[in-house]
Amino acid sequence: MDTQNPPHSSSPQASSIDPKSGFCCKTKTFHSIRPAVTLPFLPTAPISITSYIFRFLHHSSSSPALLDPTVSLSYRRVILHSELESRVKSLAYSLHHEFRLSKGDRAFILSLNSPEIPILYLALFAIGVLVSPSNPANTPAEILQQLRLSKPAVAFTSSDDVHKLPSFLRRRNKTLILLDSPDFYKMMLVESECGCDFDFRSFQISQSDTAAILYSSGTTGSFKGVELTHRNIISSIAGSHATRPVRKTPAVILCALPVFHVYGFMVCLREVAMGGTVVLTKKYNLESILRNVDELKVTHLAAAPPLVVAMAKTGRVATRDYDLRSLEAVFCGGAQLVNSVIQSFWREFPGVAIAQGYGLTETTAGATRIIGPNESRVLGSVGRLMPGCQAKIVDPKTPNGPGLPPLQEGEIWIRGLYVMKGYAGEKEATDAIIDSDGWLRTGDIGYFDNEGFLFYVERMKDLIKYKGYQVAPAELEHLLQSHPDIADAAVIPYPDEDAGQIPVAFVVRKPGGLINETQIIDFVANQGKYKSCQILVNIMITTGQLMLKSSY
C-alpha cells in the first residue's frame, strides 16, 4: 500500500509540525494537514491512469459521465458511466490494432471541447501513448513549435481545424485522424469480443512514464512542454477523491474551460473518475453558461476569473432570468480573484461557494485548493495544501536560506507527487526551475497563515497574467520593436478587475513615423499568440528617449 500522507504522529518529524498550519519548525516547510491518501499499489506497480480509474474508482451507474450541451435541449450527446469503459476499451483496441499505436508513441490533439476528448485521452493513456493537446486558436507557427516539442506519431483534430496542421501531417493519412468523422465514432463502438475484452494491463505502463505534454510559458514566455507522468495525474485524482465531501447524488460539473489547458484537463479527468457528470461546453459566454446551469441543474461550475467577474456584476439579472438554485460552488483558477469581486459575488449569490486554487501546469494544476463551504469563507485564500504536497516560502533575496514561517511573504516553492517530470527536451530549463531536492520554484510571491491557508500576493517572474493566459513582456516588446515604424518599446502590467492584468505598451516612434495607437493595436492583434489569446493592449505614444524597460 502506498500512502500519500504527512508524517505519522509517531515519527520524530511529526512532533515538530504544527497541526493547524502544517509548518515544521525543524525543516521550515509546510505539510498538508488534509486527510491521508492511500493508493492500493506501490509507485513501482505498472498501472496507467486509465487502469487506476476503472479498477479502483469504477462507476457502473446509469448517470451521465460526459455531456455535450451545445446541441438542442431535445437531443444532447450523452455518454453514461455504464458505457464509458466499453467506449474507452473499444477506442484503445482500434487505435492499437488499426493504427499500430502503442507504448512510447505520441499523439498531438488539436480540438475544442467535446465528449470524445476525455474518451480519447483515456484510450491513449491505456495503451501508453503520450497525449499532447493544443489550442486550435494557436497560429501555425505556434502549432509547429508544439509539434517539434511533442514529436507525435499521430495527430487528432476536427475537419474545421485540419487546415491548421502542417502539410506534411495532412499528406500522411495514417498519421491524421478526424475526431468528427464517422470512422472515429465507429472506433468507439467496436462490438467485437477482442474490443470488449481488451486488457489495459498487458501494456505494462510504468507510473513514471510521461502521460501528457501540456504547454506552459515557464518563466520566459516561450512555449515549454510540461511532462506530466501517470503518477502525477493519479496522485492528483487520488487527492481529490480523498478530500471530496460525500454526496447523496452525483455532482454535475460544467467545465467552462478548455480541456487542452491543465485546469480543464484535470477537472475533466478528476470528475469523470469520481462518478460525476462533466458538461463540456465550447461556449464560455455568460448567457450560455447560465442557461446550461439552469437546464442541466449544474451543481459546480469550473471557470476562469472573467466569468466569475461577469456573474458578480449581473447577479440579479441572472437569477431573474435563470433558475440557478442547483449551483453549489464555483471552482476558480488560472488567476487570482480580487477580494472585492468575491464579496460582490457573495452578495449576488449568497448560497454559492467560491473555491479558488493555486497551481501551475508544472504542478499538475492545483497544489492548494479550497474545499467545502467553511474554507470558502476565508476571503482571498487559494486553499490549503493537497495531500502529497509540501511547500516552502523562501526569501527571494536569500533563496539558499531557511524557509519562512507563517504570515511571512516570500517565493512559493512546491515539492511532492504533483511536481512535473520536467520540460520536454529542455534539461537546462528543468534544472533552473527544480532544484536537486525536488523543490519547484514557482516565481510567485505568497504566504501561509496560521491555519495553513495560502494567500497569493503577486508574481515575481517577468510574466503578465491576462484572463488566465501568460503574456511575456519581453516577447511582446520584441514583437513591437520588429515594426519598421517603432524605435523602442516597453511593456508593463496594469491591474484590471475583469482581466486580472492588461499589458500596457509604451512605444517610441521612429523619427518621422506616423504610426498611431490603433495601428499598433491592430499590428499586435494580428501576430502570434496575442491574437489567439485575444489580448487587449493599451498603447501609449511617447517621444524622446524611452527609459522604462521590462525589468520592473
Give 266-327 as a DSSP string. Answer: HHHHHHHHTT-EEEE-S--SHHHHHHHHHHHT-SEEEE-HHHHHHHHHSHHHHHHHS--TT-
Identity of residue 286: L
Local confidence band at 223 (pLDDT 50, 70, 90 cut-offs) = confident
Mean pLDDT of 278-304: 93
The closest of 182, 4, 177, 199 to 107, measured between CA atoms, is 177
User: With 50 as the cut, is the pLDDT of residue 541 above it?
Assistant: no
All structural domains of the chain:
1-31+388-461 (2.30.38.10), 43-61+80-245 (3.40.50.980), 464-542 (3.30.300.30)
The closest of 233, 146, 228 to 423, measured between CA atoms, is 228
pLDDT value at residue 531: 56
pLDDT value at residue 537: 45
Question: Measured between alpha carbons, how far is 286 from 535 in angstroms, rounded to an integer?
Answer: 19
Question: Measured between alpha carbons, how far is 266 from 276 in angstroms, rounded to an integer?
Answer: 14
DSSP secondary structure code for residue 551 in this structure: -
pLDDT value at residue 539: 46
User: With 50 as the cut, is the pLDDT of residue 538 above it?
Assistant: no
pLDDT value at residue 333: 87
User: With 70 as the cut, is the pLDDT of residue 6 above it?
Assistant: no
pLDDT value at residue 13: 59
Q: Residue by residue, what is the 3-state secondary structure of 149-210? A: HHCCCEEEECCCCHHHCCHHHHCCHHHEEECCCHHHHHHCCCCCHHHHCCCHHHHCCCCCCE
Measured N-to-C along each axis, helices 517-525 and 473-481 cross at an angle, to the nearest 10 degrees, of 110
Q: Which residue has the cell 507510473?
A: 207
Mean pLDDT of 396-416: 93
Instruction: Tell me the pLDDT tens digit for each residue of 487-530.
Output: 677 787 777 777 777 788 888 777 777 788 888 878 887 765 56
Instruction: Tell me the pLDDT tens digit for each residue of 247-276.
Output: 889 999 999 999 999 999 999 999 999 999
Residues contacting 141, CB < 8 A, separation 6+: 528
Question: Measured between alpha carbons, how far is 195 from 152 in angstroms, rounded to an integer?
Answer: 25
Mean pLDDT of 334-341: 84
Q: Cα separations (Å) of 433 from 360, 365, 427, 484, 490?
A: 12, 16, 10, 36, 26
Residues contacting 464, CB < 8 A, separation 6+: 470, 471, 472, 473, 491, 493, 501, 502, 503
User: With 50 as the cut, is the pLDDT of residue 548 above it?
Assistant: no
Local confidence band at 51 (pLDDT 50, 70, 90 cut-offs) = very high
User: With 50 as the cut, is the pLDDT of residue 458 above it?
Assistant: yes
- Would you say how long the chain is, in residues? 552
pLDDT value at residue 546: 34
Instruction: Tell me the pLDDT tens digit for each residue of 81-112.
Output: 999 999 999 999 999 999 999 999 999 999 99
For the chain, give the mean pLDDT.
Answer: 85
Tell me the CA end-to-end span of the chain in Å, nearest whole number: 49
Instruction: Tell me the pLDDT tens digit for each residue of 407-453.
Output: 999 999 999 999 999 999 999 999 999 999 999 999 999 999 999 99
Indicate left, alpha or beta for 487 from its phi (over 0: left) and psi (-120 to 50: alpha).
alpha
Mean pLDDT of 235-257: 92
User: Per the confidence metrics, is the pTM higher than 0.95?
Assistant: no
Residues contacting 466, CB < 8 A, separation 6+: 499, 500, 501, 502, 503, 533, 535, 536
Local confidence band at 131 (pLDDT 50, 70, 90 cut-offs) = very high
Q: Which of 27-41, 351-365, 400-414 has the lowest mean pLDDT?
A: 27-41
Residues contacting 325, CB < 8 A, separation 6+: none
Q: Comparing 193 with 145, which gets the higher pLDDT?
A: 145
